[in-house]
Amino acid sequence: MRATADPPPVDASPAHHDAPPHGGRYASIVDAIGHTPLVAIPRMSPNPDVVLLAKLEFLNPTGSVKDRVARALIEDLEASGRLRPDSIIIEPTSGNTGIALAMIARRKGYRVAVVLPDNVTQERRQLLGLFGAEIIDSPGALGSNGAVAMAKELVARDERFVMPYQYGNPANPRIHEETTAEEIIADCPEVDVFVAGLGTGGTLMGVGRRLKRYRSDIRVYAAEPLPGDAVQGLRSLDEGFIPEIFDPEVLDGRLLVSNAESIAALRDLTEQEGIFAGVSSGGAVVAAQQVAARMDRGTIVVLLADGGWKYLSEDVWTRDLDADAAAIERVSLW
């Protein structure tokens, strides 16, 4: 949804704050995870009285919100004593969690294998290889559900495999309660609505619970792909697999978005706001726009889960969406 009115000057927005003087000093790249900025995107709002702010999670070290989760999952394995000298950390993923796990595991000296749908973008495969992960392909037609099933089978057959299992591990939503939500509250105490993509459910559950404890009238919405869209990272609950960590009571609504809408929005983000985000980020923005159009006034924080670098090979910024719709649907973009 393109905004037609000229945006207000940034200084006139309640979202404008003085920037911190520096980015901090950390003992390692793992310690630098989080601390991502909140940026006003006024040209994306369909309502001049609704402020849209984007949480730029692609500024994490490996380029996605999953850095937070991967760190929490590995630290949970360490604390539980499940890792032995011959252990191999295995996880079903559409790419981002696997990349983050591989980076952190290499830094800590662990082996990682990822079960990955065979239709993810080449950039994701390349990054996994650079960080030393073993890639085990699952059928792309079965999506992330197929990757989950295959990973569980491998764990049952080989005791070396240890699966942190982001879909059912409380460490996933907990890290978002402790970090992502606290950053939003600190940077945007006036937040009225939070919107994020529905993947494992960890971001929405963790941030949503903390925001509702902060102020009970804050609303939380999930951006969900249309049933049947061949996409990963975000999932339709109607496809049959509901992550164990998912609690529908945290949500105030689920908003359906299509691949085409998501790609159009990510193009708008680049052209109008100078933000180079991934496809699921476009989907989250579409959902935030749907909410903003129904509000009289207020402030929405929308989480942009990853950046555009991992999608360049699919040329989603310039290709003809109508002519190439079938080809785009076959690729795992989210």
- 3-class secondary-structure state, position 322: coil
Give the H/E segment covering residue 329: helix 325-330
In the residue annotation, 66 being an active-site residue is answered as yes
| Cα–Cα dist 144/187, whole Å | 34
Q: Are strands 88-92 and 111-117 parallel, antiparallel or unpaired?
A: parallel
Sign of the Cα pseudo-torsion (224, 234, 315, 61, in order): positive
Are the beta carbons of 208 and 239 closer than 8 angstroms?
A: no
Q: Please give the distance of CA 74 from its chain centroid, rounded to a whole number.
A: 18
Please identify which of the residues 64, 262, 280, 281 carries the catalytic annotation. Answer: 280
Please identify which of the residues 55, 64, 66, 144 carries the catalytic annotation. Answer: 66
Amino acid found at 135: I
Residue 235's nearest CA partner among 146, 309, 152 is: 146
In the residue annotation, 280 being an active-site residue is answered as yes
Q: Which residues contact 299 (CB under 8 A, 6 or more apart)?
A: 14, 15, 50, 51, 53, 188, 190, 191, 192, 193
Active-site positions? 66, 280
